[in-house]
Amino acid sequence: MIKRFFIGAFCAASLLSCTQKAPEAEVTLKDYFGDKFLIGVAVNVDQSWERDTLGAAIVKKHFNSVVAENCMKSEEIHPTPFTWNWGDADQFVKFGEENGMTVIGHCLIWHSQCSPWFFTDENGKQVSAEVLKARMRDHITAILTRYRGRIKGYDVVNEAILDDGSYRNSKFYEILGEEFIPWAFKCAHEADPDAELYYNDYSMALPGKREGVVKLVKSLKAQGLRIDAVGMQSHMGMEHPDFVEYEKTIQALIDAGVEVAITELDMDAIPTVSFGASVEDEAAYSAQMNPYPEALPDSVSQIWNDRMKQVFSIYEKYQDHICRVTVWGVQDGDSWKNDWPMKGRTNYPLLFDRNYEMKPFLKDIINKK
């Protein structure tokens, strides 16, 4: 009897002390940023199929928007004129929807990871402008029709402007000239009049690129075409971009009458090999350029975290005009920056480390330190 009393008393006491010491509910990224802008992440197929259970759990817990890292690019989703791989894209959209996230489509027209069949006929001869336009329209229409009402907006054209503001000499440009961009926006709007439409590019802090993109936005608007936002990819490094120039671009886009989306945020913690984000760039491995294969030293981590804190303070400053901040991958080990443009490096560019632990600067921000 006495024994039972003690056990009972002990349980009640420990329950009480448990309740008293219960940690405060953890603030998530979407709790904190939710009323400012969407906080998104690029997911790979292992995450959207939930084979990577830890990664998928972070996505569900912290983010309220998703974009597909690769599975909606034309070479993946539409590898031959008559073959469509809908499986991964369908799953990606379902994953986003089932978890109440805003789903973003990336990307419709891009020179890279592009199916080569777009540009040639059965005999390998370059197609005419009319044929390419029809192929673009069919490609865009099929995707937007399939995901009507489920994908909120699309990167309609990706990376068409060079750093000096001129047009990239892609196959689309070679065959159609400047017209390929308005054509893509027109087809997208016709296929889903409710979808938001974006132009997306890297190195947006460079004055030449800024001017070129602003000119493009103005020209699309002057043609009466829908463009809701410009995506600033924001693949950064420890020394680039210059934040004064970066802010100038945000302001210039606002002045041009579009919203700003930060679409592919990451920041090298190791030396940047290629500025920008041209996926074709390649460099031979050098151990010197891979200085922290085991772990990031605290001193470097501190600089990285301070710089990222500054980046997010810019986003908060312009929150009325920034519709979304999307980071390009879940945890450091997932990042394309481990292999681009030099294969086999260990980089630390994302918001969560390889143990799925949130980086310190972000804990500070969301806990308002």
332 part of the interface to ligand XIL, by CB under 6 A: no
Closer of 264 and 268 to ligand XIL (Cβ): 264
> Which DSSP symbol is given to 26?
P
* Helix, strand, or coil (residue 106): strand
277 part of the interface to ligand XIL, by CB under 6 A: yes
Residue appearing with tokens 């070479």? 75
Angle at 53 between CA 151 and CA 27, to 5 degrees: 75
336 part of the interface to ligand XIL, by CB under 6 A: yes
Smallest gap, in angstroms, from Cβ of residue 329 to ligand XIL?
Answer: 7
Interface mask toward ligand XIL for 33-72; x: CB under 6 A: ------------------------------------xx--
Smallest gap, in angstroms, from Cβ of residue 67 to ligand XIL?
Answer: 9
Closer of 47 and 233 to ligand XIL (Cβ): 233
Catalytic residue among 159, 178, 247, 282: 159
Closer of 196 and 334 to ligand XIL (Cβ): 334
Considering only residues 247 through 266, tell me which ones interact with ligand XIL, judged by CB under 6 A.
Answer: 264
Smallest gap, in angstroms, from Cβ of residue 231 to ligand XIL?
Answer: 8
351: its two tokens = 């918001």
Residue appearing with tokens 């603030």? 27
| Gap between the Cα atoms of 185 and 241, Å rounded | 29
Closer of 340 and 365 to ligand XIL (Cβ): 340
Considering only residues 67 through 106, tell me which ones interact with ligand XIL, judged by CB under 6 A.
Answer: 69-70
Number of other residues whose CB lies within 10 A of the CB of residue 363: 14
DSSP run (H or E) holding 243:
helix 243-255
Considering only residues 281 through 320, tell me which ones interact with ligand XIL, judged by CB under 6 A.
Answer: none
| Gap between the Cα atoms of 60 and 194, Å rounded | 26
280 is catalytic: no
| Gap between the Cα atoms of 246 and 249, Å rounded | 5
Angle at 145 between CA 144 and CA 146, to 5 degrees: 95
Catalytic residue among 69, 196, 259, 264: 264
105: its two tokens = 């489509």
Count of residues of this chain found to bind ligand XIL when the rule CB under 6 A is applied: 8
Smallest gap, in angstroms, from Cβ of residue 283 to ligand XIL?
Answer: 15
Considering only residues 130 through 169, tell me which ones interact with ligand XIL, judged by CB under 6 A.
Answer: 158
Smallest gap, in angstroms, from Cβ of residue 69 to ligand XIL?
Answer: 5
Q: Please report the DSSP string for 279-326 in residue order.
A: TT--B---GGG---SS---HHHHHHHHHHHHHHHHHHHHTTTTEEEEE
130 is catalytic: no
Strand ranges inside 111-255, DSSP E: 153-158, 196-201, 229-232, 235-236
- Which residue from 127, 279, 289, 300 is in contact with ligand XIL, where contact means CB under 6 A? 279
| Gap between the Cα atoms of 133 and 187, Å rounded | 10
Look at strands 196-201 and 153-158 and give their pairing.
parallel
The residues carrying an active-site annotation are: 159, 264
What is the binding site for ligand XIL (CB under 6 A)? 69-70, 158, 233, 264, 277, 279, 336
